[in-house]
Amino acid sequence: MKQPQIGVYGLGTMGSALALNMAEKGVSVAVANRSPDKVPAFLDEAGDLAARISGQDSLEALIGALPPPRLLLVMIPSTAPMDAFLDEVIPQLAPGDTVIDAGNADFHDTRRRAARLAEHDLYFVGLGVSGGEDGARHGPSMMMGGSPESWDRLHPILEAIAARYDGTPCVARLGPDGAGHFVKTVHNGIEYADMQMLAEVYDLMRFGAGRTPVQIADAMARWNEGPLRSYLTEITARVLRYDDEATGQPMVDMIADSAGQKGTGRWTVIEAVRLGQSATMIEGAVAARAWSAEKPLRQRAEAAFGGARREIGIDEERLERAMLAARVLEYAQGFRILAQASEDFAWGLDPARIAEIWRAGCIIRADMLDDIAAAFRDGPPEGQLLLSPRFANALEQGIPELRALVGQAVAAGFALPVLSAALTWFDTMRQGRGTASVIQAQRDFLGRHGFERVDRDGGGYHGPWWE
């Protein structure tokens, strides 16, 4: 076997899949795991690919097997275990070595860890990996944050294992230290919003329009042939077709309605607010998951007030146009957070490149991302997707449908945290003069904060209430 080009530490779901992907693409790889008994089992599972994999029974042995300067990819929880891992590994590494955290890390941790390793002349790369187990095994989308030197060494391996869109690998160095993990976090935030939007549409069709899960699956599959085509549209259509073997009921009816979350959606919202931004569709989706977990409260409240959902009419073509507009707004909000972070952290993020590497391999891959990449390459007015001529038609046609849908659904007692947030955001942004003059008057009255006037320069004006 050739000398290993890279080490993979952590043979859980994702680490195993990435190591197999590397071996399949001709990369020779050394592997190890905290519990060493997983290594022989992994090599068995690797079959013929094991010829390019060297199994090691400890971290020390793994480091010893790698030629310096080493590339060591770590796929373990990116929380406290990663810090403990760094405590253990730093004394064993040599200047010029690179540690790659390929887990879902909070980008603040990545920045801190990059600074820590730099003190030892080591490189630290924050690599966002999207696509789940299947993506990691056959081609993920990867968002790299780290030094240009690390990228020079890593990109041949990453480009070999990445998903491809029209032959172009879906991986890029997006900026230094935490840039890759931040972009991955916002990716997941958009994922939350899109999943919740599809769940709201399901709810309206099922309990408003009386469609069966299979009929809804048919509609989603049809939408998936057009501009709404995306991985999430496709899998929603697929899961709705299944029946539960034990009861014969639709599978979706047998699944408890309390959603899990691991934190990336929440991080997106927290960071958006910290950056002075807001992404209300992602907030709506995170809130919906939190409320879903409060099952006993919801049951008590239903008993007290009665459930509200009543019949509504659904036209699938109109609904498709409404969803398309909502999806444009969902991406527009996500990219605004990225733009603000790029400015605050001086990352120089390229939104077009981000859209390009999201076109394949990742969970939010969607046909629309090709148009989004093109829109950012054109340079939309104010840098805003919302104003891009490429989406003018989708918004012009979709907003009236979204308005009709939300209006009708709210009147019929449906809760639409994401679809209604989309409309509210759009209506706020399209209003040249908004409501903040009242807020400024209130602030001046209660705290003498002062305001600017529309007819004069400067600030610090006060209202007549102070005379």
Ligand X SMILES: NC(=O)c1ccc[n+]([C@@H]2O[C@H](COP(=O)([O-])OP(=O)(O)OC[C@H]3O[C@@H](n4cnc5c(N)ncnc54)[C@H](OP(=O)(O)O)[C@@H]3O)[C@@H](O)[C@H]2O)c1
Using an 8 Å Cβ cutoff, are 281 and 421 in contact?
A: yes
Residue type, 124: F
Residue whose CB is less far from ligand X, 78 or 150: 78
Q: How far apart are the C-alpha atoms of 307 and 96, rounded to whole Å? A: 62
**In the bound complex, what is the minimum distance in angstroms from residue 32's beta carbon to ligand X?**
10
Residue type, 68: P
- For residue 98, the cross-strand partners are 71, 123
**In the bound complex, what is the minimum distance in angstroms from residue 272's beta carbon to ligand X?**
20
184 in catalytic set: yes
Query: Annotated catalytic residue: which of 24, 88, 149, 184?
Result: 184
Q: How far apart are the C-alpha atoms of 142 and 125, rounded to whole Å? A: 12
Query: Annotated catalytic residue: which of 191, 200, 283, 401?
Result: 191
Residue whose CB is less far from ligand X, 70 or 336: 70
Residue whose CB is less far from ligand X, 75 or 368: 75
Residue whose CB is less far from ligand X, 12 or 69: 12
Using an 8 Å Cβ cutoff, are 129 and 14 in contact?
A: yes
Q: Which residue is nearest to ligand X (CB)?
A: 12
Residue whose CB is less far from ligand X, 38 or 359: 38
Using an 8 Å Cβ cutoff, are 353 and 172 in contact?
A: yes
Q: Report the interface residues with ligand X, using CB under 6 A.
A: 10-15, 33-35, 38, 75-78, 81, 84-85, 103-104, 129, 132-133
DSSP 261: -
Q: How far apart are the C-alpha atoms of 275 and 107, rounded to whole Å? A: 14
- Give, in order, the Cα–Cα distances in Å from 410 to each of 136, 187, 291: 41, 29, 18
- Give, in order, the Cα–Cα distances in Å from 460 to each of 120, 137, 438: 50, 60, 16
**In the bound complex, what is the minimum distance in angstroms from residue 131's beta carbon to ligand X?**
7
Q: How far apart are the C-alpha atoms of 21 and 259, rounded to whole Å? A: 31
**In the bound complex, what is the minimum distance in angstroms from residue 3's beta carbon to ligand X?**
24
Q: How far apart are the C-alpha atoms of 414 and 424, rounded to whole Å? A: 16
SS3 for 363? coil
**In the bound complex, what is the minimum distance in angstroms from residue 209's beta carbon to ligand X?**
33
Residue whose CB is less far from ligand X, 11 or 154: 11
Task: Please state whether the peptide bond connecting residue 69 to the residue before it is cis, i.e. omega within 30 degrees of 0.
Answer: yes
Q: How far apart are the C-alpha atoms of 225 and 221, rounded to whole Å? A: 7
**In the bound complex, what is the minimum distance in angstroms from residue 363's beta carbon to ligand X?**
9
Is beta strand 53-55 parallel, antiparallel or unpaired with respect to 168-169?
unpaired
Residue whose CB is less far from ligand X, 74 or 406: 74
Q: How far apart are the C-alpha atoms of 107 and 105, rounded to whole Å? A: 6
**In the bound complex, what is the minimum distance in angstroms from residue 133's beta carbon to ligand X?**
6
Total Cβ atoms within 10 A of residue 38: 18
- Give, in order, the Cα–Cα distances in Å from 427 to each of 100, 386, 434, 439: 43, 12, 10, 18
Catalytic positions: 184, 191
